[in-house]
Amino acid sequence: MGSKEEFLEELLDVEMKLQDVQGQIKSLLDHQEELYERQSELKALLEHFESSRSCGEDETSVSMKKWSGTFEWDSRADDIRFNVFGISSYRVNQRESTTDHVGGTGDPPCG
């Protein structure tokens, strides 16, 4: 059986390790969100590429837009997404669609 001081020391050690683990989890979640954003960007670019090819454009004329860049409305959109709707992150392609809509960068459908 240990003394009170030993238990307190071990408790502090465990609490510090838990804080470290929480930091690692946060870091991994941040990295996961970055990967989801990149995945969405790539999917949007591929969809645009495919729709452009089906409209008769060749590969060299496909404009590669930066859908997930930083825009002036990002902070307001993030605030509304989280504080009004309670949504912690965007769904696949949702941020890109918002950027397209708010920024007025949408391409007209071909046809």
User: Is 24 contained in some domain?
Assistant: yes
Beta carbons within 10 angstroms of residue 99's beta carbon: 21
pLDDT averaged per 10 residues in sequence order, the chain, 111 residues: 92 98 96 94 89 61 56 79 81 74 56 44
CA pair distance 41, 54, nearest whole angstrom? 20
Instruction: Give the pLDDT score at 17.
Output: 98
Residue 27 resides in a domain? yes
Range of the domain at 8: 4-103
Looking at the structure of the chain, the number of domains it has is 1
Residue by residue, what is the 3-state secondary structure of 62-82? Answer: CCCCCCCCCCCCHHHHHHHHH
Residue 48 resides in a domain: yes
Question: What is the structure's pLDDT at 22?
Answer: 97
